[in-house]
Amino acid sequence: MSELRAQAVALLAESDPELKALGSQRLYRQLCKGEIAIDPAAAPATPAAAGRPQRPPLVEPRRLTSRGLGSVEGRQAFVHAIAHIEFNAINLAWDAVQRFSGMPEQFYRDWARVADDESRHFLMLRGRLREIGADYGDFSAHNGLWEMAEKTAHSCTDRMALVPRVLEARGLDVTPGMIIKLRHLEDHVTADILQIILNEEVDHVAIGTRWYLWCCQRDGLDPEAHFFSLVSQHALAAIRSPFNDDARREAGFSEGELAWINAQAR
């Protein structure tokens, strides 16, 4: 029987986006059917690097061109940017599975499910890009999500705090406004895709919260104080208003965390 974490190494290293996404979905189906074993102690000697295609070219965020949603090119660039986030999210989920040893089996099952969801999101967005005359790789992108993954590679606690609960939680804040704009422009197809993603991303951030709290209990850390410290050191620039407090509550943020985040708003 194949082992999940070994398969995660191979999927993470895959550079073809379509093969990565379809392979992720296939592996999760096998896991659900009981065809894949999980060995929490089976860590790769050297964790795999994240595979990605030659395109899109990666640039500094400030070098990305801002385009309005009212133009065809602007809509293409917007959908491309979201597709790139979802592609990175597939890598982030499999990296958590392959990298962090000694966690409960449910940790690996949770992140395999996230990888399956993110793969579906990516494929929906890529399909939409093709419908509006573009494809993944046609625009530049930035690598902010993966850069944070590299900074937190040493610690599951830090990863759970800073990737799902800061960078991915940002999507909970901004996506409702994007959906409103798209519906105003009568692009209901893209808006419907983003609504699906928003609904499921609440659960993904909640998974990050659950395992962050588990790690803090294991390590004897105060979850709120440690979260504030990590964000202050590594991600304060990512704390920007507006905040979707209701979605964040649903994703497990405490009232103390919400008050602190709102107080830091830029």
Q: What is the CATH number of the domain that holds 157?
A: 1.20.1260
- The residue written with tokens 């398969």 in the block is 7
Give the CA-trace dihedral at 231, 235, 239, 240, to 10 degrees: 170
Q: For residue 181, tell me if it sits in a domain.
A: yes
Q: How far apart are CA 12 and CA 51, in angstroms?
A: 6
- Helix, strand or coil for residue 143? coil
Q: For residue 47, tell me if it sits in a domain.
A: no
Lowest mean pLDDT among 40-44, 73-77, 118-122: 40-44
Lowest mean pLDDT among 104-113, 143-152, 232-241: 143-152
Q: How many CB atoms lie within 10 A of CB 177?
A: 11
Q: For residue 44, tell me if it sits in a domain.
A: no
Q: For residue 184, tell me if it sits in a domain.
A: yes
Q: For residue 130, tell me if it sits in a domain.
A: yes
Lowest mean pLDDT among 1-15, 100-114, 202-216, 221-235: 1-15
How many domains is the chain built from? 1
Burial class (CB in 10 A: 0-12, 13-18, 19+), 14: buried
Model confidence band, residue 61 (pLDDT cutoffs 50, 70, 90) = confident
Q: How far apart are CA 99 and CA 44, in angstroms?
A: 8
Instruction: Report the percent of the chain where pLDDT is more than 90.
Output: 83
The pLDDT of 179-198, averaged and rounded, is 97
The pLDDT of 163-177, averaged and rounded, is 96
Q: How far apart are CA 212 and CA 227, in angstroms?
A: 9
Mean pLDDT of the chain: 93
Range of the domain at 143: 2-36+58-263
Instruction: Report the percent of the chain where pLDDT is more than 70.
Output: 97
Q: Which residue has the higher pLDDT, 25 or 67?
A: 25
Please, which residues have CB within 8 angstroms of residue 183's CB and are 6 or more apart in sequence? 191
Q: For residue 29, tell me if it sits in a domain.
A: yes
Q: The dihedral of CA 222, 224, 225, 226: what is its sign?
A: positive
Q: For residue 166, tell me if it sits in a domain.
A: yes
Give the pTM. 0.95
- Whether 126 and 83 have beta carbons less than 8 Å apart is answered as yes
Q: For residue 186, tell me if it sits in a domain.
A: yes
Residue 117's pLDDT is what?
A: 98
The pLDDT of 207-218, averaged and rounded, is 98
- Helix, strand or coil for residue 97? helix
DSSP summary character for residue 3: E
